[in-house]
Amino acid sequence: MRSFMGTWRLVRLALRRDRITIPVTLGLTVAMVAGSAPALASAYPDYQARLEYVISSVPSIVGRFFQGTIQGVSLGSILIAETFLSAVVIVAVMSIFIVSRHTRYNEEIGAGELIGSMEVGRNAPLSAALIVAVVANLIVAVVIFLFLARVPALSRTGSIFFVSSLAMSGIFFSGLTAVTVQLSDYRRGANALAIGALVTFFMIRAVGDSLGKVSLGGLRVTASWVSWLSPLGWASQTLPYYANRLLPLVLLFIGFLLTTLMGFFILSKRDVGSSIFPSKPGPARAKSSLTSAGGLARRLQRNSFYGWLAGFVLTGLMVGVMVTDFRNLFEQNAVWKQLLGNSGATENFTASVLGVMFPRMAAMLAGYVVSALIKMYDEEGYGRIEFLITTALSKTKWFFSHVTTIVIGITMSLAAMGLAGGLGYLARASVKEVSLLNVVLSSLANVPAMMLFMAIILIVFAIRGRFVKTFAWSFYAYVVLIDSLVRIFKWPDWLSKLSPFSHTPAVPSSNVDIWPLIFMTIIAIVLFFLAADLFRRRDLNLS
């Protein structure tokens, strides 16, 4: 047990270092779930209103994909559809960050060595990190429960299962991260592995839920067995407020135990600072493709680009394959008719669906732009820019080396999403309403919105570099969530119009409104140059 010595000291240290992160995540999750509950209760006050919600949601494949399966007519079932999976993703990400930060990141910056030489055992940092993660999840669960318990239409038992399932998901991912931090030898790698697993699990569950069967007279969906392959599937299969199953919680807990044991096992076999996949030596000379501003920018952006590219391709494929399913829903569903009618292209069904789906997917995948811009800012934040712009490279050239790389990345990703979508569509559809080129164009129509999104963040970067991370993630959360928030809380419409993605027209269609595309492109380019100039004039952030 000596190897666990000092754990409590490290727990206290970690809690102190996380005194901002944990409350912020807590606030975010609580606000989302606990804030939605009363709002939903007043938006769907009676059986009739809830019934309408359920009837329109049950057949929606998109709904199943992002919100899971609907379980009967109740406020709880609506609450779950609107908040559960997003909350799970948030606590999962929080748990991943907590564990990697207090283990691998410490080793990376050398604090691990310091801690290792203090009176703490070898296993103490990982145990402390896990304890902090578990405690953080339990706090989230308790606080949310206290709020939910005050909504009369939600059963106590149901709420207990809701929050337990949420917390167990977070705890599961902290266990998973206990393994990934042993595998990669620095934090980004460990986070990327864990988040990759999260995305994969989300997708598996999404596919499983989408393949589910409608039952109970069209009021609930039974997920297919595929969902049971994913821990996120387990989390939603507790079916709070409907079946309140215990088995999935047990599965999550076993998963946590096994991954944690594995994490400690690998830890016992490796040196401090090393990993199972240690870094290999690099080349003694640089290739000529590296030794220019653009070459360096491409090299720095490369790995995360490939990761996101996979996300774009998967998303495209999913949209393409599912377009055909929409056709059937469309025939029966007035809500969808209305939604698609608004997009301005009713004569070609497939084109309309793509026109609705692609901008939403693009908004979600704008996370690529955020992470790429943060990579760019890190050059300044970590002081590496000091080496670069004291060579013959100017600040402006440096700035555009990244901007161009990212714009090309955006174009390639959206082209790939369109291509995958087109191929998926053609493979599945019996009647070909649109050509491959049409689908690709429909996806590429989001390039201007994505560029504008990027340009707005760059302005903040150019004015106050330090703020860029916070701003970029907040703006991203905004474009992803605003549509749903406007719908749930009945906020004014112009709030969604603030998102560039709401201005992408449906392409292809006979009456494409091309002007938004042109305007957005022009504004984005003007903002790029403005940002370059502001950046040139400001002091660098040097520690």
Partner 1 sequence: MKNRSVISISGLVKDFGRFRALNGLNLEVKEKEIHGFLGPNGSGKSTTIRILLGLLNKTTGQASLFDSDPWKDSTQLHRRLAYVPGDVNLWPNLSGGEIIDLLGDLRGGLDEKLRTELLESFSLDPTKKFRTYSKGSRQKVALVAALASDVELYVLDEPTSGFDPLMEAVFQIHMRKLKQRGKTVLLSSHILAEVEALCDTVTIIRDGKTVETGKLSNIQKLQRTTFRIETKKSAKEVVKLGGVHGYKEEGQKSTFEVEPGHLEAVVKLLATLELTHIISNPPKLEKLFLQLYKDKPEAK
Q: Quick one: residue 362, left, alpha or beta (phi over 0 = left, psi -120 to 50 = alpha)?
A: alpha
Q: Quick one: residue 273, left, alpha or beta (phi over 0 = left, psi -120 to 50 = alpha)?
A: left
Helix (H, G, I), strand (E, B) or coil at 220: strand
Distance CA 528, CA 458 (A): 7
Q: How many helices (H) and strands (E) does the chain have?
A: 24, 2
Distance CA 273, CA 107 (A): 5
Q: CB 288 → partner 1: shortest distance, Å?
A: 8
Please identify, using beta-carbon distances, which residue of 390 and 430 lies nearer to partner 1: 390
Q: Phi and psi of 222, rounded to 5°?
A: -95, 120
Instruction: List residues binding partner 1 (CB under 8 A).
Output: 108, 186, 279, 281-286, 290-293, 296, 299-300, 382-384, 386-394, 537, 539-540, 542-543
Tokens representing 428? 């599945």
Are 136 and 99 in contact by the 8 Å Cβ rule? The answer is: no
Distance CA 491, CA 483 (A): 10
Distance CA 484, CA 295 (A): 40
Please identify, using beta-carbon distances, which residue of 2 and 536 lies nearer to partner 1: 536
Please identify, using beta-carbon distances, which residue of 133 and 403 lies nearer to partner 1: 403
Q: CB 305 → partner 1: shortest distance, Å?
A: 14
Which residues does residue 214 pair with via DSSP β-bridges, in sequence order?
221
CA angle 525, 300, 89 (to 5 degrees): 85
Please identify, using beta-carbon distances, which residue of 1 and 392 lies nearer to partner 1: 392
Q: CB 540 → partner 1: shortest distance, Å?
A: 5
Q: CB 393 → partner 1: shortest distance, Å?
A: 5
Q: CB 129 → partner 1: shortest distance, Å?
A: 21
Q: Which residues contact 456 (CB under 8 A, 6 or more apart)?
A: 475, 500, 527
Which residues does residue 213 pair with via DSSP β-bridges, in sequence order?
222
Are 505 and 517 in contact by the 8 Å Cβ rule? The answer is: yes
Please identify, using beta-carbon distances, which residue of 200 and 304 lies nearer to partner 1: 304
Q: CB 217 → partner 1: shortest distance, Å?
A: 57
Helix (H, G, I), strand (E, B) or coil at 221: strand
Amino acid of residue 103: T
Q: CB 292 → partner 1: shortest distance, Å?
A: 7
Q: CB 53 → partner 1: shortest distance, Å?
A: 49
Please identify, using beta-carbon distances, which residue of 152 and 283 lies nearer to partner 1: 283
Length of the chain: 543
Please identify, using beta-carbon distances, which residue of 273 and 516 lies nearer to partner 1: 273
Q: CB 392 → partner 1: shortest distance, Å?
A: 5
Distance CA 65, CA 60 (A): 9
Please identify, using beta-carbon distances, which residue of 386 and 533 lies nearer to partner 1: 386
Please identify, using beta-carbon distances, which residue of 275 and 350 lies nearer to partner 1: 275
Please identify, using beta-carbon distances, which residue of 384 and 490 lies nearer to partner 1: 384
The single residue listed with the structure tokens 């308790």 is: 142
Distance CA 312, CA 414 (A): 7
Q: CB 296 → partner 1: shortest distance, Å?
A: 6
Tokens representing 53? 């919600």
